[in-house]
Structures are given as C-alpha cells and as structure tokens.
Structure 1
Amino acid sequence: MTATVAALRTAGCVFAEEEAELLAGAAADEVHLAGLVARRAAGEPLEHVVGWAEFCGLRMAVGEGAFVPRRRTEFLVQEAVALARPGAVVLDLCCGVGALGAAVAASVPGGGGVELHAADIDPVALAYARRNVAPYGGAVWEGDLYDPLPAALRGRVDVLVVNAPYVPTAEIALLPAEARDHEPLTSLDGGADGLDLHRRIAAGALPWLAPGGRLLIETSARQSPVTASALSSAGLTVHAVTSEEYYATVIIAVTEHESCHQ
C-alpha cells in the first residue's frame, strides 16, 4: 500500500491514501494493482480505473470512454425525486451511463417504483447505462434525443431529467485534463454558447410530457436565462433553482395543464 500511495502522490493525486484503498479494492492481485496504479498515475479518471462512480450514495458502473457523473448533478436528482410519485414515468434523456435515472428510481419514496426509460446517442455509455438501470427495470434506447423513444411514451412522461452537454466549444480546452482527455467530446461540447442541445431538447419536449409533467435540466448560473428562455418559448412554464452546496443550477419546466395531472 505504501508504494501505491507514493506512486499516486508522485503523480499529483491529492487524495492518494483514499485512492490507493479504492484501487486495491478493485485489483485482483498485485500485478493487476500495478496496472491500475499506472493508469491512474497517467491521468486516467479514478472512476474509469476502478469501474464505478459514487453518485447519490450508489455505485454507478462507468469505464473508459464514458462521462463520469458529477456530484453537482445530485442536486438535480434531489429536485426530481421531490416531484416524482410512485409509478411515475421517468425519462433520463442524454443519459450517459444512466446515473440520473437510476438514482431517481432508487430514491422515489413509497415503494411503488417508477417506469424508467433512458436514452442516449453514445453506444459506449449505453453499455454502462443498461447495467445501471437494470435493477429498476429500466428500458434503454439508442439514438438522437427523442428519436429512438417508442411512440407509446408520447404524452406520458411525468419527470424528464436531463444533463446534456453545456460547455461552450471554446471552453473545452479549459476543462481539467481528466475530462478533456478521457471523456467523449459529445458529452462535453454544447456548441458555440454551450446550449445547442438545450434548445433542441426544449423544442421537442412538449409532445412527450404528460399533463403537469416536469422537465429538469442542469445548466450554469450564467447560462440559465438562455436555457429558461428556450423552454419558455417551447410552451413550458419555467423557474430556476440553485444550490450553493452543490454549486448547481437546475431549470424546472412544467406543462401548462398541471391541474389535469393532479
């Protein structure tokens, strides 16, 4: 263990002791451990190396070539859980490894479960998403935004959670190397102002939402007025919620026919 900690410290890992324990727990033997340490020391995200990320108290399967769910996105999950009832239809759009949908499904109170769907365009991420949503009976769909969803979902989604890319293209180079060099560009780059996908998601949302259905989308405090405007222009009523603890901003949009949903 001492040699592992020393190697991680030399590589600049701030939490070398904690990481060494996680790597040791993921290794089958000393040879395997040496390989894991070498990968981490070379700058690969710890979550990719050990094969999982902690998110909302759960272990989410992740790996090479997949976006690692961020702690700040736990705020979006908390807001979604507060809105989701047992039996709700939940859609995790731009799902990546399916962490949001799985966490919502695991946390909805009442024991009634939810009907969970997850969709993304990235087949690498979806391989992990299938593992993460399987305990909750989740269905996974591959394709661009709403395109792969079954027609039977139209007008039935009660809670639509989204963590789509929102980093402006020019700012990708400023991201930490772990993200910039090891996560897919499609999970980071949101276009010129970062909000290309937010506009497309907003424009296509209404036909899929149930009466009173909610769409929750993560954005930044700086970008939130534009995200909110796109959702409002699509016929949804919007408001922003923020968390200093998570340093997170979420726009919550609701269909105008909420009374029909009560």
Structure 2
Amino acid sequence: MPPLHPLSPTAVVTALRAAGCVFAEDEAELLLTTARTPDELATMVDRRVAGLPLEHVLGWARFHELRVAVELGVFVPRRRTEFLVDQALAQAPDATVVVDLCCGSGAVGAALAAALGRVELYAADIDPAAVRCARRNVAPYGGRVHAGDLFAALPAGLRGRVGILAANVPYVPSGEVGLLPAEAREHEPLVALDGGPDGLDVLRRVAAEAPGWLAPGGCLLAETSERQAPAAVDAFTRAGLTTRLAASEELYAHVVVGVRPERSQDGPGWPGTGLGQG
C-alpha cells in the first residue's frame, strides 16, 4: 500500500485522532475547508496537534448561527452561552440598547444585534486582546467596544438606558482553574476564567451596579454553574432585581436573569430608554 499523502483527509484525521481529538473527523473537515493552501493546512494541523484550541487554529467559532472571529489569547465562546442569548431575546425582544460586558470576542453582543436588528450596541472588556477581537465582530452592527474594568469602561450616558445587559462573567473558582482542560488553562486569559474564591466575585460586582445602568424593565443576564446558582440568584435579588433562574439540560447551561422593576406597571412607556415600545 503506498504511503498516505501528508495532506490527505485521511492523514489529517489520523493525526488529530492520535493527538486525542475526540471529534477528529469533524475537526478535519473544518481544517480542510478553512485552509487556503496546503502549507496553511499543514501549519493548522500542527498547531491543533500541539494543543491549540480548534477555534484559535481556525480563527473563528460558530456561535448562534454566526461565524465569530476568535484571535489567539481570546476566550472562545461556548455553545452553552447561546442559551444566554436566547434568554435575553425572550426577555427583552424589543430592546434597542444592548451592552455586552466581559465581552471577550464580542460573540454575545454580535448575536444579540444580529437577532434584534437595529440597536445601539456597546461592549467592554478589560483584556486588550479581547477588545481588538470584539471590534472586528461588532463592527458590522455599528457596535462600539470599550476597554476597562466592567462599568467603568462604559460611556456615562448609558446609565438608565440599557435594555439588555449581558455579562458572561468569569465564574470558575480560583482553586478550580487548574482543573480546567489544558486548552482553556494554557490558551485563554486567566481574567476570563477566574471568578475569585467561590467564582462569584465578578458576578456580585456586576449585579450590584447593574440597576443604575438598566432601563426600567431592562434585564441583566449572567451565566453560572448549577452549584453556584442559588448564591448568584441571591446576589441579583439583593441588588433589587426581579430574578429568575433559567436552565437548559441539553446545553447544561444556567443563566440568572434579573429585571429592573418598572416605575409603574400601568403607567406610560419610557421614551428614550433601551426598551422599545410594543
């Protein structure tokens, strides 16, 4: 039997499988269709075999039916976070002002803008690499990305206007970061993973400040783990938000949803806020 061509589909699958890639066939197809030249394919296979996350090798990730650019050193959007997007759209389908806090690649903000149509979109992250990457992803929607620590990065004029505040905060307890898969530990920024001693430090900070930024009826959403969910719900409730927990067994996703109460349930609408009038 003649030796396999080093760039044949079979050779790519074999190399990925030997490296421990569980979905070697699927990954090989993505690499083969993304690479523009044989040399680029060889480089991509070598990088994946060396342990680089597939999305960093490809330069993109599929998220909520979008192809989102993902640069080296930037947090890779997880499929379970699509559930957060769906919950936001269900809670505030008429939102006109959207903020993606702890935005990473900007995938959540881009997905919300794509689904909602014309919105004011803002994103923020403390990591410079994430800010650069997010700017690529939100640009088609006219989005603006700001660098800084949580709300300090946002324009003051957004106070009281935000219809959807999506905050995919880091929530891994500090002592458990070392237990994460090597792809995350070695190639994603620690600031996007480590949520402090119990994993909820950043979530509590966001919940405490969110009511001042939300429009009446606006919502805050944050992902958490099943174990942390009761404490996360408590943090939202203590901030004065009307809170519920949404869960998806299929995606093993848990999202806390907090809504700023309306001034009056029967009163007039709120012109100039981040919630459209139905």
Structure-2-length-normalised TM-score: 0.90
Consecutive unaligned residues in structure 2, runs of 5 or more: 1-8, 271-276
Distance in 2 between residues matched to 1:146 and 1:18, nearest whole Å: 39
Number of aligned residue pairs: give it. Answer: 259
Task: Note if contact 1:87-1:113 (Cα within 8 Å) is conserved in structure 2.
Answer: no
| 1:62 corresponding residue in structure 2 | 70
Aligned with 2:131 (options 126, 143, 157):
126
**SS where residue 167 of structure 1 aligns?**
coil
| 1:205 corresponding residue in structure 2 | 210
1:17 equivalent to 2:25? Answer yes
| 1:216 corresponding residue in structure 2 | 221
Q: Which moved more, 1:18-27 or 1:93-102?
A: 18-27
Radius of gyration: which is bigger?
2
TM-fit CA distance, 1:87: 5.5
1:164 equivalent to 2:169? Answer yes
Task: Determine what percentage of the aligned residue pairs are the same residue.
Answer: 61
Q: Deviations over 1:7-60 (max 9, x none)?
A: 111111122122112112222311221111010001110000000000111111
| 2:82 corresponding residue in structure 1 | 74
1:98 equivalent to 2:103? Answer no
Distance in 1 between residues matched to 2:208 and 2:155, nearest whole Å: 18
| 2:6 corresponding residue in structure 1 | none
Distance in 2 between residues matched to 1:172 and 1:216, nearest whole Å: 23
**SS where residue 146 of structure 1 aligns?**
helix
- After TM superposition, the structure 1 = structure 2 runs for residues 119-198 of structure 1, keeping only pairs within 5 Å, are 119-198=124-203
Distance in 1 between residues matched to 2:129 and 2:33, nearest whole Å: 25
Dislocated runs of 4+, deviation >6 Å: none
Q: CA RMSD in A?
A: 1.3
Task: Note if contact 1:87-1:115 (Cα within 8 Å) is conserved in structure 2.
Answer: no
Distance in 1 between residues matched to 2:242 and 2:173, nearest whole Å: 26
Distance in 1 between residues matched to 2:200 and 2:95, nearest whole Å: 32
TM-fit CA distance, 1:221: 1.4
TM-fit CA distance, 1:88: 1.3
Task: Note if contact 1:86-1:113 (Cα within 8 Å) is conserved in structure 2.
Answer: no
- Which amino acid counterpart does residue 198 of structure 2 have in structure 1? D
1:35 equivalent to 2:35? Answer no
TM-fit CA distance, 1:84: 2.9
| 2:235 corresponding residue in structure 1 | 230
TM-fit CA distance, 1:86: 4.2
Aligned with 1:114 (options 115, 119, 125):
119
Distance in 1 between residues matched to 2:93 and 2:40, nearest whole Å: 44
